[in-house]
Chains A and B, each alone.
Chain A
């Protein structure tokens, strides 16, 4: 039984003993530790920006999220961590209904943005997404000029009446994204011609150009080198002054550096959520501890 399971794991070449041990330990862990029925820590805050209760997500018949409840406070950076495939992206995409674009995806539960039910049939997704913007894992600038990329949101939403207003929005957004000085001389060059880090900052500028209230970021740095990552992290910290941010990350250091609170997901369940410091220094749950000490993930 045990060996069979090991064989099923894709081995990545070097099968040294340490790794074997880690795998064994992990398997033991996932088998022995019961799933928490209740999230440990403090997932709730007073007067939250987003109030999410009993969220369940299904891909066709496959349940990807099991009854997750948490709050996201105002002007707070919340990071979502957890092993691959545990449903972080899925959960994040519920928050501005990007899951609507996947035909087989169904969402249940109470999701509120300042008292507004996100899944209210009368609610307008366009409006919602203008309030809750999203930055994706891979930088995805449109094949347009830098200027047009940033101006895209304000244009479709009619946020600027005059060219002058639009210019201002573009400049402000690029400044906030820390990209202005690098691109101010080539605003009309293609956005796809920038470096990866610049592209991601462009995407952030594009998102904040709409002045959303919440910004969702799904592993925004995973495609970037350390220097670009550092810049984005700095940017996130700055942005947190005016925006509420939820960020998915695989880097524990990053979570520790940028976020106020951290949520640990495991196989579609929210295991633990608490102040970032608490989670990383005194995790309550064994699974959380195992993950942050790098025993699996």
Chain B
């Protein structure tokens, strides 16, 4: 055995230990990353799943014309100013006849959401003959009641309900006068101060309008820019400068784009604050580099032979590009655009700058109505002190992630499906 072999042999054990250690670090690192992912998702689903359901309490409601102060349910004005809280109060008093004293009565009345009144009004509008009738109805519970009912035995001790309220609710629960239903308001309302009446529809519409504006602006401009840079641009300082700009813009913090929007689009051009149009423009400027870069890659992937073939038939450069290169590169461009849109959909910071953080109850009807977007809604709710908003924020996150996953899957599928083998 040679000297070398002997010496090498002596080091082997140590070296293999180092090898194992190194590998373990690698596995550990991946483990950390994956664990973070799992933790993040379980945390959010754990917090948010309950928000997809809400509790209702059952009460016999008498549509008493006098209490309601409604004589003709067909008169919209009267209908709107009706005292629905009154009939709910009466129903509660009837259900719990032993409750006395102002404080307790108030506490009792707090069990039902203020939103229940609107439900009664809508019912009456639908069916005017209800006036004077008594019906046993399921009414939306207050968010504290909702939390209490959803909580485990142990968590119930920390409930914000006072002891009497807890007793009443427990009584309702025991006698089957509470039930859990799918939280429809989550998908049919805008924001609200009351968690049980708050929904994400307003934010979803806001996001939708913002995304439409972004897509309509960024895709054509991005594709045109990519075509210019790949096919027409002469190699000179100016083109280099454009390229440097694109690469740098892709790495500029998003909040800076918010400052740009605030100072230029709102300050200089005088567009209104808080509207999806401005949000869309800002996000366009932000996603444009992504779209340009991916579109250029798609154009580059079109083999020169196709260009030469078309050129050989006497097509002009522009015809070659528009008739041959663009259709072939389009799938790749679309994938890039979808990924850019997914980025824009999750973006929050620049939209805070341009005032899309306002508390907006009404559903926006177009890109010029004040609105908020899904991520901003999450931010607002996460910041709210009431505990129920935390669950709502998680639920909104789940919806947002669902959108993002769909978009990214779409991009992947599109890429797979349309992938061309030259």
Q: Which residues of B contact A131 (CB under 8 A)?
A: 2, 4-5
Which A residues from 209 to 257 make CB contacts under 8 A with B?
A: 210-213
Which A residues from 129 to 178 make CB contacts under 8 A with B?
A: 130-131, 156-159
**Residue B10, interface by CB 8 Å:** yes
**Residue A61, interface by CB 8 Å:** no
Q: Which residues of A contact B7 (CB under 8 A)?
A: 157-159
CB-based nearest B residue for A157: B8
Question: CB distance A130 to B4 under 8 Å?
Answer: yes
Q: Which residues of A contact B2 (CB under 8 A)?
A: 131, 211, 213
**Residue B11, interface by CB 8 Å:** yes
Question: CB distance B4 to A210 under 8 Å?
Answer: yes
Chain B interface size, under 10 / 10 to 19 / 20 to 34 / 35 or more = 10 to 19
**Residue B9, interface by CB 8 Å:** yes
**Residue B15, interface by CB 8 Å:** yes
Which A residues from 94 to 136 make CB contacts under 8 A with B?
A: 124, 126-127, 130-131
Question: CB distance B11 to A212 under 8 Å?
Answer: no
Give the Cβ gap from B14 to chain A, nearest Cβ, in Å.
8
Which B residues from 1 to 37 make CB contacts under 8 A with A?
A: 2-5, 7-12, 15
Contact of B9 among A127, A156, A212 (CB under 8 A): A127
Residue of B4, B5, B9, B10 most packed against chain A (CB within 10 A): B4
Question: CB distance A127 to B3 under 8 Å?
Answer: no
How far apart are the CA atoms of A159 and B8 in the complex, in Å? 7
Question: CB distance A158 to B4 under 8 Å?
Answer: no
Question: CB distance B10 to A158 under 8 Å?
Answer: yes
A212 with B15, Cβ < 8 A, contacts A127-B9, A158-B10 known = no
Give the number of A-B contacts (CB < 8 Å).
32
Give the Cβ gap from B203 to chain A, nearest Cβ, in Å.
49
Give the Cβ gap from B268 to chain A, nearest Cβ, in Å.
51
Question: CB distance A126 to B3 under 8 Å?
Answer: no
Give the Cβ gap from B118 to chain A, nearest Cβ, in Å.
66
Question: CB distance A126 to B12 under 8 Å?
Answer: yes
Question: CB distance B3 to A158 under 8 Å?
Answer: no
Contact of B12 among A127, A159, A210, A213 (CB under 8 A): A127
Q: Which residues of A contact B3 (CB under 8 A)?
A: 211
Give the Cβ gap from A211 to chain B, nearest Cβ, in Å.
5
Q: Which residues of B contact A213 (CB under 8 A)?
A: 2
How far apart are the CA atoms of A37 and B7 in the complex, in Å? 43
Q: Which residues of B contact A212 (CB under 8 A)?
A: 4
Give the Cβ gap from B3 to chain A, nearest Cβ, in Å.
7
Q: Which residues of A contact B4 (CB under 8 A)?
A: 130-131, 157, 159, 210-212
Give the Cβ gap from B390 to chain A, nearest Cβ, in Å.
48
Q: Which residues of B contact A130 (CB under 8 A)?
A: 4-5, 8
CB-based nearest A residue for B3: A211
Q: Which residues of A contact B5 (CB under 8 A)?
A: 127, 130-131
Q: Mark B113-143, 1 if CB is under 8 A from A, else 0.
A: 0000000000000000000000000000000
How far apart are the CA atoms of A294 and B24 in the complex, in Å? 54
How far apart are the CA atoms of A217 and B221 in the complex, in Å? 56
How far apart are the CA atoms of A213 and B3 in the complex, in Å? 11
Give the Cβ gap from A189 to chain B, nearest Cβ, in Å.
28
Q: Which residues of B contact A210 (CB under 8 A)?
A: 4
Q: Which residues of B contact A158 (CB under 8 A)?
A: 7-8, 10-11
Give the Cβ gap from A71 to chain B, nearest Cβ, in Å.
20
Q: Which residues of A contact B11 (CB under 8 A)?
A: 157-158
Give the Cβ gap from B103 to chain A, nearest Cβ, in Å.
76
Give the Cβ gap from A10 to chain B, nearest Cβ, in Å.
16
How far apart are the CA atoms of A55 and B154 in the complex, in Å? 72
Q: Which residues of A contact B8 (CB under 8 A)?
A: 126-127, 130, 157-159
How far apart are the CA atoms of A157 and B5 in the complex, in Å? 9
CB-based nearest A residue for B2: A213
Q: Which residues of A contact B10 (CB under 8 A)?
A: 158
CB-based nearest B residue for A129: B8
Give the Cβ gap from A119 to chain B, nearest Cβ, in Å.
18
Q: Mark A16-60, 1 if CB is under 8 A from B, else 0.
A: 000000000000000000000000000000000000000000000
Give the Cβ gap from A125 to chain B, nearest Cβ, in Å.
11
How far apart are the CA atoms of A213 and B2 in the complex, in Å? 8
**Known A124-B12, A159-B4; 15 more pairs at CB < 8 Å:** A127-B5, A130-B4, A130-B5, A130-B8, A131-B2, A131-B4, A131-B5, A156-B15, A158-B7, A158-B10, A211-B2, A211-B3, A211-B4, A212-B4, A213-B2
Interface residues of A (CB under 8 A from B): 124, 126-127, 130-131, 156-159, 210-213
Interface residues of B (CB under 8 A from A): 2-5, 7-12, 15
List 9 interface pairs A-B (beta carbons < 8 Å), by A numbering. Answer: A124-B12, A126-B8, A130-B8, A131-B2, A131-B5, A156-B15, A158-B7, A159-B8, A211-B3
Closest 10 pairs (CB-CB, A-B): A158-B11, A130-B8, A211-B4, A157-B8, A127-B8, A159-B7, A130-B4, A158-B7, A157-B11, A131-B5
